[in-house]
Structure 1
Amino acid sequence: MRKIAVIVLASCLVLTGCAGDWQAEVRLKVTKIEEEPAQPTFPGRTDVWLDPIGELPDGAFDRENFVGKIVQPEEIDGDVKAGDEVVCIAKQRTVGALQTNTVQTELFRCRRA
């Protein structure tokens, strides 16, 4: 019975991979602001495109997940334009080896730098 439990536990670890979380403040630059106007069947929206500036804090899983990151203007405290810098809390999570995108990145509580 113990051998079965050990095998099941080991199998679960292999399937999920080495999952983990990372969180820190990250400095980003607004590369562009894209506006899609409202239409009769679409309410319209504005996307703020961000790219990292300099090195990421220690422990970040994957820099590529920060390049071209999009947030909504409501997620940034204050008005921004292309070229402005913002500081956001970034959270990265690894979701396991069998997933197609093993690193998920979220940005929140952004503010002008």
Structure 2
Amino acid sequence: MRKIAAALLGCLVLAGCASDWQGEVRLKVTKIYDQQTLPGDPVEKTASLHLVGSMPKDAPDNVNFSGTGVELKEIEGEVKVGDEVICTAKQHQPAGIQTNMIETELSGCKKA
């Protein structure tokens, strides 16, 4: 019984270290370029997106994220350099050893 209690407590501690956040962010298209993951893969048009302003204060990593690239086909509406988009940003801080690593993923982007 003690081993089960210790295992459950360990799981709760690890789960408590994990952090998930989701919110909307505004980004600006600074560049549109061709990107090919591997030779032989199709070339995809990609937009380089840079954060306008700052991340919301309640985001786990509201300092280090400044932007990323998103395939144009993932953005709703036609965009060009200089346009702004609004995306759903999801940040996840995995539990366990690498608790200082925060991943930011953009989805649901649309022209502002």
Alignment CA distance shift 1:14-1:57 (3 Å): same
Give matches, 1:1-113, under 5 Å: 1=1, 3-15=2-14, 18-36=17-35, 41-63=40-62, 66-99=65-98, 102-113=101-112
Provide TM-score, normalisation by structure 2: 0.78
Shift of 1:65: 5.7
Alignment CA distance shift 1:79-1:19 (3 Å): same
Per mean C-alpha deviation after superposition, the further-off stretch among 9-18 and 52-61 is 9-18
What is the alpha-carbon distance in structure 1 between the residues aligned to residue 42 and residue 55 of structure 2? 35
Q: CA RMSD of the aligned region, Å?
A: 2.5
Provide TM-score, normalisation by structure 1: 0.77
The gaps in structure 1 that reach 5 residues or longer are: none
Shift of 1:94: 1.3
Alignment CA distance shift 1:94-1:36 (3 Å): closer
Residue type at the aligned position of 2:49: L
Shift of 1:68: 3.4
Q: How many residues align?
A: 110
